[in-house]
Each structure stands twice: as C-alpha cells, then as structure tokens.
Amino acid sequence: MRYYRYTLDDLKKSSDRKLFTYISFFAGGGGSSAGYKLAGGDCLFVNEFQQVAVDTYLANWPDTPHICGDIKKVTGQQIMEMTGLKVGELDILDGSPPCPPFSMSGTKKKGWNKEKTAYGMKQQNIEDLTWEMIRIAGEMKPKVIICENVKGLTMDYARDHLNRMVADFETLGYSTTYKVLNGIHFGVPQKRQRVFIVSVRNDVLDDIGMPWMLISSLFPEPVKEEPTLEDAIGDLRLDNENSVEAYELCETMKKSAKYKWLKRLPKNPDKVVSVGDDVVGPWYDKVIAHRKKMGKSIPEAKHSFYQSRRVPWNQASHTLSEQGLMTSLAVHLHVEEDRVYTTKEAKRIMTLPEDYILTGTLNEKLARVGLMVAPMMMKYLAESIYEKVLQKYHKKMVDKTLSACYNKL
C-alpha cells in the first residue's frame, strides 16, 4: 500500500505496546509523537513553547505530562521527577529545534547573532535553543537522541552549527550520525527533505556489539512505492465535509492580491505549473509590509519560496510549509481548484491520523500542519532504531539481570 491511513485509536493500540520510552522537545502539534506512537513508543513527557501548539497536542493526547514554556527554564531533574525516570533510563530523547536560521525557504544566514523574534519571544539566537536540548540530554543521559531539522542545516552556511552539535554529543559520551531523508521514500506524499541526527550512547553501542563506525546503518531503507496526491487525497473530491471547507477557502482566495495570477494556472495539469517571482508585483510588497508589521524576518530578495505551484495528481506534493499553506501566500495549490489545501487534505499529505484534532482558526490549523514532522518519516526511523539498538539493548539488560539472579542461587 502506497499510502497508509490510520486513526488515533490505531495510534493508541500501537503505543500501548510500550516497546520504548521517549520524551519530546519542541513538540509542536505532535507530528513526531504520532510517528513514535506508530512505532510502539510510550510518551512520558513533552515540552513546547507555543500555547496554540500545546492546545493541539493535548486535544489529541490530553493525559500527556508536559510543560508549556521556555526550554531554558526546564531541567532534566525536573523531568525525571515528573516521570519517575532515573539517569540513563530513558530510551529516546527527541527534539526538532526551530529551523528559521537554517531553512532553505527562509533568510538563512541573514540575522545570525542578532536579536530575533520567535513565537512572540525575543531572543539573541533562535538556533541557541539547540544547546538547551543538549544540556538536558547531558542531565538525563538517554540511550538515543534524535534531532530533526531542515536540510539547510547540512549546508555550508550552517555546517559549523551541525559540527558543534556532533562535538557536544561526543563530549557527552555519544556517537553521532546524520542523514537527509526524503519523505516520499517513507510513505509521505511530499518531496519533503529533512536531516535526521541520531546519537547513541557509547556504552549502549558496546553492550550490543555495534562499532561506532556502523551507526550510519541505523537509518531505514527507502520503501519502493512512492505515494502520490491521488493516493492521499483523491477520494476527498467526493467528501462533503471537505467540500464545505474547500468552498470557504476558494472564496477567501478571491480576496487575495495574488488571485488574479493564480486563476490563470491550468487546472489538473500533467506537470507542475507555477506562478513565478516575476509576476508577484504589488502582492509581494504587501507581503513584506505584513511581515514587517508582525516583526518577522524580511528576505533580501524575491525567493522561490513565494512561488505558487499546482502539482498533478500522479505526483507527490512539494514540501508543505507553515506560510505556504496560508491563503495569503498560497504556495501549495489544489490540483483542480484555485485554493490552498484544506485541513483534511493537508493532514493526509503530512500523514497525520484521519481524526487528528487541530485547534485554532483555519489559517492556524493549516500553519500547524506545515510546521510538523511528518509522522511516517519518524515511524520508519524509530522502528529501525528500536530493531537495531533498543530491542537488542533491552534483551541484553534482561539477560544480565537473569544471570545475576541465577548466580545468587
């Protein structure tokens, strides 16, 4: 099956297996958690700064121990007291630090080491939050650390940041590997490239007999069949609930300064068609004025990020993004209609559960989806790491305990 549909109940059944434990930082609306739960993970704690994201997370998993607040004020000891964990017991510490400084669709290097605003919070460097997560990892000593971020983190302008991450993990006693994975190879109907950084505690590697130079083998093998938009959302053309929201979006889009160009794009194309940067005109000026008003970063020049695209049914979507799903920017256009994707379509394209609850306004719901880690990408990675590391380590520890008990007899 090229596209896998599932529900929150399916997630609960899978998570109830409790194959491994995990905690998540920068948890957002729960995309990575959905992936871990699909792989059999048991969530013990999450941390997220944005209340609107926490609202979405708790709407789906209301009993999750959590702290909604600045990670700088969170300590490993605090988490261990909340969860009953001891140093070294946690299986996976997960985190997807804010990516604007590294994003291929953002301003990249511009503004580094200058005051920025993220989620309404002024701070010197958004990227510095990475070190807060690493600080907590040093306090809790999880067996495995997994970080997800945009592909731009591997580029030259961000390489020093990535190298420092690897060095800091090494100082804490971990061996680290990283790789750019494409969602289309792991059941996601998107050409979504993300870098995954995996660090394994050295004593864990020793116990399972895995040399550090082989940890690159922890990444999953790509699946053969690549899902398309037809696989993911084709049936929603006949969905009444989806049609109501689609109509609302169509009417909203007509008020956009960009609409007169969007409606010229061929519908149901046999190849990708787009409205390029050369026709943004006064619309682009309005976008810049709005971003200035909201205190957001301003690109140095028109960027392909603002390029609206219509993708054919037999292909996967381009990378869904927070801004791209908003009606004002309208980067991700429906195959047959002059609008962005509905929340139901966006959830499918991001591989979220069918009945996943999104909170907030329509634009906030769409933006929340664009910010998430694609669950199916995390599922495949977590399953691979469990099979190749954690399952073997758990068995080794059980065998040691049984041997110790036997020797006492």
| pLDDT for the residue 283 | 56
- If you compute the radius of gyration of the chain from its CA atoms, what whole number of angstroms results? 22
Average pLDDT, the chain: 88
**Residue 157 confidence (pLDDT) above 90:** no
- Rounded Cα distance between 156 and 165, Å, is 15
Q: What is the DSSP string of 22-73?
A: EEEES-TTSHHHHHHHHTTEEEEEEEES-HHHHHHHHHH-TT--EEES-GGG
Per the document, the length of the chain is 409
C-alpha span between 384 and 177 (Å, rounded): 14
- For the whole model, what pTM was predicted? 0.88
What are the phi and psi torsion angles at 309 (to 5°)?
-130, 145
CA dihedral of residues 214, 218, 222, 228 (deg, nearest 10): -150
pLDDT of residue 118: 45
Tokens of 375: 């669950």
The 10s digit of each residue's pLDDT in 16-74 is 999 999 999 999 999 999 999 999 999 999 999 999 999 999 999 999 999 999 999 99
- Residue 396 CA: distances (Å) to CA of 11, 205, 279, 400: 28, 11, 62, 6
Inform me whether the pLDDT recorded for 271 exceeds 50.
yes
| pLDDT of amino acid 409 | 66
pLDDT at 109: 46
Q: Is the pLDDT of residue 1 over 70?
A: no
Given this model, what pLDDT does residue 256 score?
Answer: 81
Instruction: Compute φ and ψ for 100, nearest 5 degrees.
Output: -50, -40
Q: What was the pLDDT predicted at 113? A: 41
**Portion of the chain with pLDDT greater than 90, in percent:** 70
Mean pLDDT along residues 174-198 = 97
**The pair of three-digit structure tokens given for residue 57, joined into one six-digit string:** 């997370």
Instruction: Specify the pLDDT at position 123.
Output: 44
CA 287 from chain centre, in angstroms, equals 25
Range in 182-186, 205-209, 288-292 with the lowest mean pLDDT: 288-292
Paired sense of beta strands 273-275 and 332-333, if any: unpaired
Return the ∠ at Cα 370 (arms to 294 and 302), rounded to 5°: 55
- Where residue 200 falls (left for φ over 0; alpha for ψ -120 to 50; beta otherwise) is beta
Angle between helices 362-371 and 240-253 (to 10 degrees): 100
The token duo for 170 is 């090494």
Q: Which residue reads 């940067």 in tokens?
A: 277
CB neighbour class for 312 (10 Å; exposed up to 12, middle 13-18, buried from 19): middle
Scan for tokens 């933006």, then name that residue: 367
pLDDT higher than threshold 70 for residue 298: no
- Which tokens go with 309? 């695209």
Mean pLDDT of 288-310: 68
Q: Which of 123-127, 162-166, 288-292, 341-345 is least confident?
A: 123-127
The DSSP line for 113-127 is TS-EEETTEEES-GG
Give the residue, 115 or 141, on which the prediction is more confident. 141
What confidence score (pLDDT) does residue 108 get? 47
Residue 124, pLDDT score: 42
DSSP 304: G
Name which residue leads in pLDDT, 20 or 322: 20
Look at residues 29, 32, 91 and name the one whose alpha carbon lies nearest to residue 381.
32
pLDDT of 287 above 50: yes
* Ramachandran angles phi, psi of 41, nearest 5°: -80, 150
Place of tokens 């394209």: 349
Q: Which residues pair with 403 in a beta bridge?
A: none
**How large is the average pLDDT for residues 325-338?**
89
Residue 322 CA to residue 308 CA, distance in Å, equals: 14
CATH architecture of 8-227+375-405: 3-Layer(aba) Sandwich (3.40)
pLDDT bracket for residue 127 (50, 70, 90): low
The amino acid at residue 181 is: L
Distance, C-alpha 18 to centroid of its chain = 22
Contact status, residue 227 vs residue 191, Cβ threshold 8 Å: no
Phi, psi of 332 (to 5 degrees): -100, 100
Token representation of residue 207: 């116990």
Alpha carbon distance 297, 292 (integer Å): 7
At 174, list the tokens: 């971990």
| Number of other CB atoms surrounding residue 318 within 10 Å | 17
Ordered by start, the domain boundaries in the chain are: 8-227+375-405, 229-371
pLDDT, tens digit (0-9, with 9 covering 90-100), for 89-114: 999 999 988 855 555 444 444 444 44
